[in-house]
Amino acid sequence: MLAQQKQAIVALFQAALAPIVAGTDLTPNVVLERPRDPSHGDVACNIAMQLAKPLKTNPRELATRLVAALLTDPQAAGLVEAAEVAGPG
């Protein structure tokens, strides 16, 4: 995956996170990683796991909100083919 594509996906996550972390002192550090298993897609992000405790929310619910925001963001068209919530690990 090209660096420009990764930067664009990170920006999508940051836009999706903005309303979630508004009013807090949190500054999410979105990091994209390659999944160990290539069948799990091109990139993975565990930001929902990182933010769940400080936000006092369920990580799966947070991840579901992020996926919904990513898939409905017009900027994601042509960049994000699919996004899904997976368990830890």
Contact partners, residue 52, CB within 8 Å, separation at least 6? 58, 59, 62
The topology under which CATH files domain 3-74 is: Gyrase A; domain 2 (3.30.1360)
Check residue 87 and give its pLDDT: 80
pLDDT tens per residue, range 34-85: 999 999 899 999 999 999 999 999 999 999 999 999 999 999 988 999 999 9
Q: In the chain, where are the structural domains located? A: 3-74
Determine contact, residues 29/74, Cβ cutoff 8 Å.
Answer: no
pTM for this entry: 0.88
Q: DSSP string spanning 15-79?
A: HHHHHHHTTSS-------B--SSGGG-S-B--HHHHHHHHHTS-HHHHHHHHHHHHHH-GGGTTT
The overall average pLDDT reported for the chain is: 93
